[in-house]
């Protein structure tokens, strides 16, 4: 038997939420991509944590603070508090 066909929609959702793990969905033809993606992601995670992790986390925090501060009061008033 050939097995069930794969869905492009499912592959895109896997890629969006699970990154390189989507290549497990089509492992027979994408095994090399999976292993390369795994190794690169692992190295990137280590480098991010060790080298630039603190800078990235601080940068995202600073971006959020500046973005929130730069918006006008009217912008926030269009989102009423649900607790009222």
Q: Is the pLDDT of residue 83 over 60?
A: no
Average pLDDT for the chain:
73
DSSP classification of residue 26: T
Domain ranges in the chain are 9-77
pLDDT at 61: 77
Q: For the full predicted model, state whether its pTM sits above 0.85.
A: no
Tokens standing for residue 21 = 């793990």
- pLDDT tens for 49-77 read 776 666 766 777 788 888 888 877 776 66
Q: Report CA-CA distances (Å) from 42 to 37, 46, 47, 57, 84.
A: 8, 6, 9, 18, 46
């Amino acid at each position: 038997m050939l097995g069930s066909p794969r869905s492009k929609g499912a592959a895109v959702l896997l890629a969006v939420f699970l990154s390189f793990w989507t290549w497990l969905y089509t492992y027979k033809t994408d095994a090399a991509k999976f292993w390369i993606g795994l190794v690169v992601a692992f190295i990137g995670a280590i480098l991010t944590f060790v080298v630039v992790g603190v800078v990235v986390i601080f940068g995202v925090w600073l971006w959020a603070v500046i973005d929130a501060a730069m918006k006008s009061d009217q912008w926030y008033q269009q989102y009423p508090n649900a607790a009222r």
